[in-house]
Amino acid sequence: MYQIIPCELMAARRDCKMSLSAVARQIGKDRSTVWRYEHGQLNPPASTLFQMAEMYGVPVETLCRRQEGNHVL
C-alpha cells in the first residue's frame, strides 16, 4: 500500500514550472482535480500518479511512500 504525499506533488509541479491548468491538460483531468491531489483531498489513481511522475521527471517513489499497516516506511 502506498500513501500519496500531496506536498511532493505540488513541489514537483512547481520545480517543472508548470501551472495546475497545464498539468490538468497533460493528464486529462480538471484543474480542480489536480488541486485536490496537491492538497490531499483526493488521491490520484496509480496510472495518473505514474503519468505525473513521468511528466515531472521524478521517480514515482518521490510522490508517495510505502505504507504497511499503520506505519509509513
d(CA 3, CA 47): 15
Residue 73 has pLDDT above 90, yes or no: no
Supply 30's cell numbers.
Answer: 480538471
Does residue 70 carry a pLDDT above 60? no
pLDDT, tens digit, for every residue of 2-11? 788 999 999 9
pTM: 0.86
Nearest by Cα to 3 from 71, 59, 54, 51: 71
19 phi and psi, to 5 degrees? -85, 165
- pLDDT tens for 15-60 read 999 999 999 999 999 999 999 999 999 999 999 999 999 999 999 9
